Amino acid sequence: MPPTVRSQAAVLEKVGASLQLAELDLAAPGPQEVLVRIHASGVCHSDLSVMTGVIGTPLPAVLGHEAAGVVEAVGPGVTRVVPGDHVVLSWSPSCGACDECLRDLPQLCTAAWPAMFAGGLLDGTSRLSRAGEPVYHYSLISSFAERAVVSERSCVVIPREAPFEVASIVGCAVTTGVGAVWNTARVRPGDRVAVLGIGGVGLSAVMGAAAVGAWPIVAVDRVPDKLELARSCGATHAVQWAGSAEDTAEAIRSASGGGVDYAVEAIGRPEVGLAAFLSTRARGAAVLIGISKEGETLDLPLLSIPRLERRVLGSIYGSARPERDFRLILDLYLAGRLPLDRLVSGRLPLDGVNEALELVRAGLATRTVLLPTTEATGSHR
């Protein structure tokens, strides 16, 4: 068993502050836990939402929940990985035994979610500390750091050919977007799809729809440059936000020949959710991925639900089974069927984390990836 190690990490001390780099103590992995050297960590909007207080989590905490790296050591009883394995980390280390896991809904595991909000690992305690005082985990991972100790259930072994920077974003944005299309909606060839909100998650949904032969694929955003990017990732049509849900929905209906089968909402705002719903044709579904503020509501034209058999589908983490889907997504990437490189809009060292978060705040980055381990960043095709 390795002793406690030192790890440089980006700490959020309090809501409203920027992140501060600090040398923390990282305890050795306990039973069923794994020490991972972080090679790449994507910067996600959820990290920013913690900093602004929209998402609550115990502080001080090390943020970061979208990462890939190499297993350095394993605790007692670990069977899924061995040192040297390349892994993507899942922020939903499902237990396999609760009611939701038994219903094949590991993304809704009732053991993992409370542990996530408690700021520890699955046993409720943190492996991170500073001068003997605990520093909390965020999302059961904390990857804005050189190293992380995580549950072995968070570790999904990936092919060594997969570059770490692409693998890292499979841990959150890609799986959330692609999985909403493949798992939640189960889009089939020829289904008409709209994607509202072209960030990392929305672009991933566009790519997922293109990979399964959806047509048309209508990208929707306020920003013309993002619509162009969506076209380069497989969108067949582009609609600029028209100022209201009704007008935008009308433009999508027109572009899609009378309404879409699935309208994926990747923003988390009521007016965008309404536009998604109104853009669907009969039996169509709004697929709601975006995380809204607590207490937001969505008003829908009720009569059209029975009359047109319209539906609303919720999707968290792409309704994914990480141990299956991470590998599948990376295999398709390596085969040239998912152009995930296009999602990586920039790379920064760990001490560039606040700059990366500023790009998220300004809506300027598709995905900025931090590279905390600069001497090895994976092989690139």
Question: Cβ 201 to Zn ion, closest distance in Å?
Answer: 8
Under the criterion CB under 5 A, does residue 140 sit at the interface with Zn ion?
A: no
Cis peptide before 134 (omega within 30 of 0): no
Using the rule CB under 5 A, which residue among 109, 206, 209, 217 binds Zn ion? 109
Under the criterion CB under 5 A, does residue 111 sit at the interface with Zn ion?
A: yes
Query: How many residues comprise the chain?
Result: 381
Nearer of residues 239 and 356 to Zn ion, judged by Cβ? 356
Stretch that binds Zn ion, among 7-15, 42-50, 350-358, 372-380 (CB under 5 A): 42-50
- Tokens (6 digits) for 132: 């003997």
Nearer of residues 101 and 316 to Zn ion, judged by Cβ? 101
Distance CA 370, CA 381 (A): 19
Site string for Zn ion, 165-194 (x = CB under 5 A): -------x----------------------
Question: Cβ 268 to Zn ion, closest distance in Å?
Answer: 12
Using the rule CB under 5 A, which residue among 5, 27, 28, 95 binds Zn ion? 95
Under the criterion CB under 5 A, does residue 94 sit at the interface with Zn ion?
A: yes
Using the rule CB under 5 A, which residue among 9, 26, 67, 101 binds Zn ion? 101
Question: Cβ 298 to Zn ion, closest distance in Å?
Answer: 22
Nearer of residues 252 and 287 to Zn ion, judged by Cβ? 287
CA 379 vs CA 86, 94, 165, 167, 370: distances in Å: 12, 30, 10, 11, 16
Under the criterion CB under 5 A, does residue 98 sit at the interface with Zn ion?
A: yes
Distance CA 166, CA 331 (A): 12
Residues 341-380 that bind Zn ion (CB under 5 A): none
Nearer of residues 245 and 330 to Zn ion, judged by Cβ? 330
CA 118-120-125 angle, to 5 degrees, is: 110
Distance CA 49, CA 214 (A): 32
Nearer of residues 275 and 343 to Zn ion, judged by Cβ? 343
The secondary structure element, H or E, covering residue 47 is: helix 45-51
CA proximity to 42, closest of 88, 6, 73, 108: 88
Nearer of residues 279 and 319 to Zn ion, judged by Cβ? 319
Under the criterion CB under 5 A, does residue 255 sit at the interface with Zn ion?
A: no
Cβ contact 113:106 at 8 Å: no
Measured from the Cβ of residue 26, the count of other Cβ atoms closer than 10 Å reads 24
Cβ contact 60:12 at 8 Å: yes
Site string for Zn ion, 51-90 (x = CB under 5 A): ----------------------------------------
Alpha-helical regions (H) of 156-298: 164-169, 175-179, 200-211, 224-232, 245-255, 270-278
Nearer of residues 35 and 116 to Zn ion, judged by Cβ? 116
Question: Cβ 137 to Zn ion, closest distance in Å?
Answer: 14
Under the criterion CB under 5 A, does residue 154 sit at the interface with Zn ion?
A: no
Stretch that binds Zn ion, among 96-104, 221-229, 293-301, 353-361 (CB under 5 A): 96-104
Question: Cβ 49 to Zn ion, closest distance in Å?
Answer: 9
Question: Cβ 111 to Zn ion, closest distance in Å?
Answer: 5
Question: Cβ 147 to Zn ion, closest distance in Å?
Answer: 20
DSSP-assigned states of every residue in 329-370: HHHHHHTTSS-GGGG--EEE-GGGHHHHHHHHHTT--S-EEE
Under the criterion CB under 5 A, does residue 115 sit at the interface with Zn ion?
A: no
Nearer of residues 33 and 47 to Zn ion, judged by Cβ? 47
Distance CA 255, CA 248 (A): 11
Strands (DSSP E) along the chain, which ranges?
A: 5-12, 20-26, 33-42, 61-62, 67-74, 86-89, 128-130, 133-137, 147-151, 155-157, 193-196, 217-221, 237-240, 260-265, 280-288, 311-314, 346-348, 368-370
Distance CA 52, CA 80 (A): 36
Under the criterion CB under 5 A, does residue 11 sit at the interface with Zn ion?
A: no
Nearer of residues 101 and 198 to Zn ion, judged by Cβ? 101
Contact residues toward Zn ion (CB under 5 A) are 44, 46, 94-95, 98, 101, 109, 111, 172
